[in-house]
Structure 1
Amino acid sequence: MKPINLVKRFLFENTNFEDKSCFHERLMEIAEAYETIPEDVYDAYEELTEYEMWEIIRKMAVEGKKRTK
């Protein structure tokens, strides 16, 4: 699986779109390599380009908007 898809899947599965701070918390956990983050997700995150990370953020925002209407 491509790194961008692995990170995106993890974020979509582990983000509570009803909680404003949840997405930010998940991103911080990944960036800081918390024990709660699977190693393959952290490794994939490390491989992402800035553009790919912004693409994930954009897709998360669109999905969050849909789920919280």
Structure 2
Amino acid sequence: MAEKQTAPPSYEAARDELIEVVRSLEQGGTTLEESLALWERGEQLARICQDWLDGARKRLDAAIEPDG
């Protein structure tokens, strides 16, 4: 059975989830395995946010380039 691919979350959704991941890690009280899973999710979310920001920068650069 083929794996269903889902669209990445919006920038805002990824950022908000990343904030929650960081809070959970800062609070502690998780096992090593849980902490590693949170860290890995945080890394994924940070990449998603960076991809959104890079895409926004490219769009802005393209919009302000002279048509010459």
TM-score (structure 2 length as normaliser): 0.38
TM-score (structure 1 length as normaliser): 0.38
Specify the structure having the higher radius of gyration (Cα): 2
